[in-house]
Chains A and B, each alone.
Chain A
């Protein structure tokens, strides 16, 4: 659109070349759109299949265009797997996952951003050492601390709790560093002026720096949210009963059984997809641009 506005005052011959450029652009958009549709077609197929009642029909329809069309959509599968108790209590597992997601992300935002703020602007002795430690800790993969962590949790009698699934992943070197980077690039005057007005560090954080960090908050929310939602290995190890079992583990176990009820597995998968999709759509506006800002350095 802005291209057109720019080119209007130009002389005629230029405009003709602009016209052919426009066709090229349309072709490009169509190509990109087609590739995008191919890439997301498996997701669309999942949605369609979850609306079909007959699990044998679902398999029979795969591999033809029927996989993308449902003639009489029904929510039966969802009713069947949406329960809060019983064998297929995916409603309950979904709730568990949502509780874990909400508590992890909200406490993670506060704790990591406060730490990042202090590392960027505070006068704590040994700040540089702490920062170096945070960066060094980032290298340790979750997979390589999970076994000792399992001993700790089982000795503390915390297996099968929400706490065991939330507490270890709240503070994270990656997000502390992300916030540190974001806060450190804000102008010095901002901090100094507030300090001169006699504001305490927490006050400065709470009423000036935190409100300014919305883009970093959005990025962290999305990354942390995806991470928490997709946890699989750790909850497999620490949940034995349905009490705190998240939906990822429930689907994984259900799917691992011999006779696969595709219809129910599909419906449960759609259930699992919906919240993170909503979450993503809400934050997407900030996400791509702010993630672009932090990705390479992070």
Chain B
């Protein structure tokens, strides 16, 4: 910066300041207008439509106000509760698998290794792969009865464990989706963990080394406490992701077999797009928002407790 020490007086104070504010408003206006139109407006609309019988395609009969009718209908629908149970199940399974994988790879990569950038890049590759492509790849891996997973399973168990219909068996379908989802998304959590690890001051490690703490003790008494906020953050964004589960289901299982992979978003799209009942679908989207809000508020509370 070549900042000149001579202070040039701003020409008359007031009008210049006004011009500046006007220009600033012009700079922030595009973002504000777009967000009002495409985020705030639909968000507010969703509360209104959720109380009506709004169809997707306009009909001659006027839209009727239903009050909480849609909500009552959803909350008394067994399929909705199956969907809720499924995403809960999904999040309980994916948390240890995905976050564990992310944490482990982050620990491995957080040392001064040669080829560090290349390695990080390789571990991150699945995360940039589109879910659609992931479904094509894992769809072949899951092939029944002669796909790679079944071949390896038979080979490892000496033929005792029979071929599993990964995506066609209600007992296995959700678990299969957990595996492919964890593989696709762990890269992001890994990067967040790497950030958390870098945030732990080196002096803490030095001090504990001088105190003669073993590697193991250093891990439990320096690394783990230092990562507490990161753990909270990672666990909660993974839970939110789990509740929004959709693409994998839409492409690979369509909610089946026998509704074992039905999810909240899939339920929403089915009622809004396929059955054209947008009012009903909007009620589901409001419920989804409330769930995400509760998770986000929990995160804020937990983070505050660790006073970060």
Q: Which residues on the B side are within 8 Å of A216 (C-beta)?
A: none
- Please tell me if the beta carbons of B109 and A144 are within 8 angstroms of each other in the complex: no
* Interface positions of A from 28 to 49, Cβ below 8 Å from B: 28-29, 31-33, 35-37, 39-40, 42-43, 45-46, 49
If A36-B122, A40-B122, A189-B3 touch, does A269 touch B272 (CB 8 Å cutoff)? no
Residue in B17, B43, B137, B278 whose CB lies within 8 Å of A269? B137
Q: In the complex, what's the smallest C-beta–C-beta distance from B117 to chain A, in angstroms?
A: 7
Q: How many contacts A-B (CB < 8 Å)?
A: 294
Interface centre among B39, B124, B151, B289 (most CB of A within 10 A): B39
In the bound complex, CA of A255 to CA of B113 (Å): 41
- Of B28-36, B89-97, B170-178, which stretch is located at the interface? B28-36
Residue in A134, A147, A293 whose CB lies within 8 Å of B272? A147
In the bound complex, CA of A37 to CA of B158 (Å): 25
Q: Which residues on the B side are within 8 Å of A171 (C-beta)?
A: 30-32, 34-35, 38-39
Interface membership of chain A positions 144-159, coded 1 if the CB is closer than 8 angstroms to chain B and 0 otherwise:
1111111110110000
Q: Is B288 an interface residue (CB 8 A)?
A: yes
Q: In the complex, what's the smallest C-beta–C-beta distance from B190 to chain A, in angstroms?
A: 10
- Please tell me if the beta carbons of B4 and A151 are within 8 angstroms of each other in the complex: no
If A29-B115, A145-B285 touch, does A40 touch B269 (CB 8 Å cutoff)? no
* Interface positions of A from 258 to 283, Cβ below 8 Å from B: 260, 262, 265-266, 269, 272-273, 276-277, 280-281
Q: Which residues on the A side are within 8 Å of B268 (C-beta)?
A: 143, 147
- Of A69-77, A79-87, A199-207, which stretch is located at the interface? A199-207
* Interface positions of A from 182 to 203, Cβ below 8 Å from B: 189-190, 193, 196-198, 200-202
Q: In the complex, what's the smallest C-beta–C-beta distance from B101 to chain A, in angstroms?
A: 9
- Please tell me if the beta carbons of B120 and A288 are within 8 angstroms of each other in the complex: yes
- Please tell me if the beta carbons of B119 and A118 are within 8 angstroms of each other in the complex: no
If A117-B27, A143-B285, A255-B251 touch, does A200 touch B20 (CB 8 Å cutoff)? yes
- Please tell me if the beta carbons of A198 and B10 are within 8 angstroms of each other in the complex: yes
Q: Which residues on the A side are within 8 Å of B233 (C-beta)?
A: 296
In the bound complex, CA of A32 to CA of B105 (Å): 8
In the bound complex, CA of A147 to CA of B133 (Å): 25
Q: Is A237 an interface residue (CB 8 A)?
A: yes
- Please tell me if the beta carbons of B278 and A151 are within 8 angstroms of each other in the complex: yes
- Please tell me if the beta carbons of A62 and B140 are within 8 angstroms of each other in the complex: yes
- Please tell me if the beta carbons of A28 and B195 are within 8 angstroms of each other in the complex: no
Q: Is A176 an interface residue (CB 8 A)?
A: yes
Q: Which residues on the B side are within 8 Å of A167 (C-beta)?
A: 34, 38
Q: Is B250 an interface residue (CB 8 A)?
A: yes
Q: Which residues on the B side are within 8 Å of A284 (C-beta)?
A: 117, 121
Q: Which residues on the B side are within 8 Å of A25 (C-beta)?
A: 113
Q: Is B86 an interface residue (CB 8 A)?
A: no
Q: Is A295 an interface residue (CB 8 A)?
A: yes
Q: Which residues on the A side are within 8 Å of B152 (C-beta)?
A: 63
Interface membership of chain A positions 108-150, coded 1 if the CB is closer than 8 angstroms to chain B and 0 otherwise:
0001101101110011110000100010010111011111111
Q: Is A233 an interface residue (CB 8 A)?
A: yes
Instruction: Number of A interface residues at 8 Å Cβ cutoff, please give it.
Output: 100
In the bound complex, CA of A139 to CA of B265 (Å): 17
- Of B76-84, B203-211, B217-225, B240-248, which stretch is located at the interface? B240-248
* Interface positions of B from 96 to 114, Cβ below 8 Å from A: 105, 108-109, 111-114
- Please tell me if the beta carbons of B143 and A59 are within 8 angstroms of each other in the complex: yes
Q: Is A230 an interface residue (CB 8 A)?
A: yes
Interface residues of A (CB under 8 A from B): 1, 3, 25, 28-29, 31-33, 35-37, 39-40, 42-43, 45-46, 49, 58-59, 62-64, 67, 111-112, 114-115, 117-119, 122-125, 130, 134, 137, 139-141, 143-152, 154-155, 167-171, 173, 176, 189-190, 193, 196-198, 200-202, 205, 226, 229-230, 232-233, 236-237, 248, 251-252, 255-256, 260, 262, 265-266, 269, 272-273, 276-277, 280-281, 284, 288, 291-293, 295-296
**CB pairs A–B below 8 angstroms (18 shown):** A39-B123, A62-B143, A63-B147, A115-B30, A115-B32, A122-B28, A137-B40, A141-B244, A141-B288, A145-B38, A145-B43, A201-B27, A232-B246, A233-B269, A237-B269, A255-B139, A273-B133, A291-B191
Q: A32-B109, A232-B246 are in contact. List 4 more A-B contacts (CB 8 A).
A: A147-B282, A151-B49, A196-B7, A296-B192
